[in-house]
A and B are shown apart, each in its own frame.
Chain A
Amino acid sequence: MVLAGCCVNTYAQQSQFDEANNLLEESNYREAIQIYQSIADEGYHSGALWLNMGYAYTRIDSLGMAKYYLLKAEKYPETKILATEALEFVNNRFSRRSAVLPPLPWDRFFRALSDTPGVRGLVFISLFFLYAGAAFVIASWFRYDLRKFFRNSGYITLGIAAVVFLFAVIVNYQDNRFGTGVMIDRQGPVFQYPREESAVITTAYEGYMMQVDFRESRDYPEWKYIRLENGMYGWIREEQLRVF
């Protein structure tokens, strides 16, 4: 019964998805987006759903929203290639692009670790080395003939496990503290403080990517503390961006 109910539900999402796709082909982009959004609101998601939403937003010229959904679609293996190509297209259509400050080496390193293998992967790797190290140490206690080999191998392996685990902790901290945001408004001022009357540091335009600091922003519900790709920091209204 449970399995049957689950199947019926899944089929309902699929039929809604097909209906929205038909609307998309008829150039009724807004209606299609409404149906896609209702599927997402029900808790279902897929790479195809996000990709089609990105496509629909592209056609109604909401390129910021399009970029947001295409970036989401890029995280699914089945739509990664299509989403990457679509993102290239959308990025080329932005009239303004932010200057990009090259990230520091360790930022690049931890960002790469966050993407692949991610926190989960790092934890698995560190556990593997932890088990191997423990085995080597135990072996060194009972195999007197290979005691030195096992002992040195054990310490090295445990050291690697500790370092990888430390990386996992740092990446997890960064993932929890920082998020990625995409500007969806045409443009918006970036303020020095979370107040409208404070000085405007710069202007963020549609499609700008930014790093969102959740910890700094938690005391200001309507604001986000961000770091633009050009290295500038400031506060921006929450409704002007979408955050992963």
Chain B
Amino acid sequence: MKETGRRTAIFTLLLALICIDTIYSKSVEEQDFQITASVSENRVFIGEQFSLSIEISGSSMRDVSLPVIPEINGVRVLSSTPSRSTSISIINGRTTTSTTYAYTLIARESGNFTIPPVTVEIGGEQYASNSLNVEIIERGQLSQEGRQQLPDIFLEVELDVSNPVPGQQIVASLVLYFKQGIEVSSFQPTAGWRTDGFWREELQNIRQPQAESVVLDGIRYRSATLMRYALFPTRSGELTISGFPMNVGMRTQPSRNDPFGSFFGSGANQRRVTLESEPIVLNVRPLPTAENALTMNAVGDLRMERRLSANRVEAGETLELITRIEGTGNIPLIRKPAYTLPDGIEHYTPQESSNIERRGLTIQGNKTFTELIAPRSPGTYEIPAERVAVFDPAARRYRTINLPALTFEAVPSANTQLASVADLRPVRLQPVTGLAVWNNTEPSSRPVFSTIWFWFLLILPGVAVIAAFKQRRLMLLLQNDKDFARSHHAYDRAAGRFQHARKLVDSGDAKEIYNTLHKTVIGFITDRMALPEAGLSDVEILEKVKEKSLHNDTFRLLKNILDKCATISYAPAGDRSDFRTDIIKTEKLIEELREQL
């Protein structure tokens, strides 16, 4: 009896546990079920078959009915009995069962249609999937030419930016298009892809290319992105990306008309083809000018900071001015910003280091510029604040980053001074002390051609040459022209005769005195007028002189003197004062004749 009661208690306990488990499991099942509807193609041709898949997943698959396909406009269900597949997965100790029902559909009318939610009854309750959109198009919409232009398999380089600026990242995706029935077994890029004017990095984002279905010019293709590159234009203008060459291993299904197709190999034609994409011409716009900011050729989403390795150093010692730029953009192309450094700082060639990640679709990382600076003398130095411009390609404008001013102090150092002096010693760089030679004007500041002495010294030899030339000409005339010589010396000869006449005055010889005066007058006139020295009478002389249109007074004086000289032998003798008066008159006459002849 006791044994029977124990068995009853154990049975009751087990039954209770089973009931609890059943109730609990049911409540969980209600929460776990997930129904997802999907189609093999979202864009299909009229008459083309495609599949509708209903996936039911959950921890338990008890009492699950077949999905009920509703009426779908433009599409007909070919088979009401779906194919079924089941999979079981265990993740973290939890079991999930997934059952997929696949229906084959055929497109009948062109247009955009919606596949309504598919209902499934699970445990007596109705569950609905998501709805789907399908576009049905006609094959005849394209011309025959359009179809013939596209080959069965081809390669394209697709860019995500069409009008970039220098430094902006462009993702160049290498996409392989191939028709249904072609299987790509391998691909191998070959050398020769030229991207002049770009900095190029291969992105490491694709592990295994996945083929997708696309429709090109009304023909269904499959496409697979094989590789991706990041391109950064380094200059503006028209840049050309050459065709990308690639070897592709492919298999094609044999034609049904080929009787030998199934006898060889696995029934497919295997071959290797070399493909090359079309070259692309890209117009790169120039970067705008950044106003009131430093530029460093930075384009992208970048952050920047600047710091000093120390705030207090000894004069002559170096400290580091570290600039770190990080983010997404053209990290390797960024130049060191040219900071304005205060005077008195020794600046050495900066070092730069960068760390770049090529995963995903962007180039990101950081770049660090380390500049070594050394204050040459003690004091407080301030590196001024700066505004640095970074071009944001999304907003198409510059974004400025404000870098605050940095201050450090240089304290005196005896060692540094000594070292500095030691550096300078070999070349004797030292100031001059003591008395200096002072000047008020710069040496040779006035142009020599504007000085008076230059022009005086320049003209002086010219004057001398002209004077010498005249003298030479006179000498030549005196030597070669007798008449000119007589005329030139007439006055001198007359003067000599006057001197002789004055000497004769003291002797009182009137005849000799007047004879001398006569000779003087006649000699002067004949010399000046180039007349024969002898053989002409006084009357003839007067006639010749008259032709020269002398002044009347002069002619009268000449005639009187000549008359007096001719008649002195018959006249009473005069005294010495008369002689001197006549000599003076004759001298006056000679002076007048000198001017008028």
User: Residues on A close to B: CB < 8 A?
Assistant: 10, 13-14, 17-18, 21, 24-25, 27, 29, 43-49, 51-52, 55-56, 58-62, 75-76, 78-79, 82, 85-86, 88-89, 95, 118-120, 123, 127, 130-131, 133-134, 137-138, 141-142, 168, 172, 176, 186-187, 197
Contact = CB atoms under 8 A, between A and B. Distances in A.
Nearest to A138: B468
Interface residues of B, number: 44
Nearest to A133: B461
A182 B543 CA distance: 89
A7 to B, nearest CB: 11
Contacts of B346: 61
Nearest to B446: A120
Contact of A119 (B344, B376, B448): B448
Nearest to A131: B461
20 contacts: A14-B436, A21-B431, A24-B431, A27-B417, A52-B432, A55-B429, A58-B429, A61-B343, A76-B443, A82-B430, A85-B427, A86-B429, A89-B424, A89-B429, A95-B347, A118-B444, A119-B444, A119-B447, A134-B462, A142-B472
Contacts of A14: 435-436, 438
Nearest to A10: B438
Centre residue among A49, A133, A141, A168 by max chain B CB count within 10 A: A141
Contacts of A18: 433
Given A118-B444, A120-B444, A13 B438 contact: yes
Contacts of B436: 14, 17, 46-49
Contacts of A29: 344, 377
A127 B457 contact: yes
Given A24-B431, A29-B377, A47-B432, 18 more contacts: A14-B435, A17-B436, A21-B431, A25-B431, A27-B378, A44-B438, A47-B437, A55-B431, A58-B429, A59-B376, A61-B343, A61-B344, A86-B427, A89-B429, A118-B444, A120-B448, A134-B464, A138-B465
Interface string B308-336: 00000000000000000000000000000
Contact of B437 (A46, A75, A86, A130): A46
A27 B377 contact: yes
Contact of A60 (B344, B424, B430, B464): B344
A236 to B, nearest CB: 16
Interface in B323-359: 338, 341, 343-349
B438 A130 contact: no
A196 to B, nearest CB: 9
Given A48-B432, A52-B432, A95-B349, A88 B447 contact: no
Contacts of A49: 436
A58 to B, nearest CB: 7
Q: Taking each of A48, A78, A137, which has the highest tally of chain B beta carbons within 10 Å of its own beta carbon? A: A48
Interface-centre pick from B349, B429, B443, B458 (highest chain A CB count, 10 A) = B429
Contacts of A133: 461
A141 B465 CA distance: 10
Pairs of residues from A and B, 6 with the lowest C-beta to C-beta distance, nearest first: A48-B436, A134-B461, A48-B432, A89-B427, A138-B468, A141-B472
A49 B437 CA distance: 9
B289 interface: yes
What is the predominant secondary structure among interface residues of chain B facing chain A?
Answer: loop
Given A46-B437, A120-B444, A52 B431 contact: yes
B482 to A, nearest CB: 20
A125 to B, nearest CB: 12
B4 interface: no
A75 B457 contact: no
Nearest to B441: A43
B85 interface: no
Contact of B438 (A45, A123, A142): A45
Contacts of A55: 429-431
A60 B438 contact: no
A88 B437 contact: no
B11 interface: no
Contacts of B417: 27
B24 interface: no
Nearest to A75: B443
A52 B352 CA distance: 38
Interface string B437-464: 1111011100111000010011001101
Nearest to A118: B444
A10 B440 CA distance: 10
A17 B431 CA distance: 11
Contact of B428 (A21, A60, A82): A82
Nearest to A142: B472
A89 B423 CA distance: 10
A61 B376 contact: yes
Nearest to B420: A59
A243 to B, nearest CB: 14
Contacts of B428: 82, 85-86
Nearest to B468: A138
Contacts of A123: 448-449, 454
Contacts of A119: 444, 447-448
A91 B448 CA distance: 33
Contacts of A86: 427-429
Contact of B439 (A46, A120, A141, A142): A46
Contact of A130 (B444, B458, B468): B458
Contacts of A46: 436-439
Contacts of B289: 197
A214 B431 CA distance: 33
Nearest to B374: A61
Contact of B377 (A48, A59, A131): A59
Given A60-B343, A95-B349, A134-B461, A48 B430 contact: no
B355 to A, nearest CB: 27
B429 A21 contact: no
Contact of B464 (A138, A142, A168): A138
Nearest to A72: B442
Contact of B343 (A21, A27, A62, A141): A62
B437 A44 contact: no
Given A118-B444, A120-B444, A60 B439 contact: no
Contacts of A62: 343
Contacts of A142: 468, 472
Contacts of A130: 458, 461
Contact of A45 (B376, B442, B469): B442
A52 B434 CA distance: 12
A93 B479 CA distance: 79
A88 B429 CA distance: 10
A10 B469 CA distance: 54
Kindly name the residue among B436, B444, B468 whose own CB sees the greatest number of chain A CB atoms within 10 A.
Answer: B436
B464 to A, nearest CB: 6
Contacts of B429: 55, 58, 85-86, 89
B437 A141 contact: no
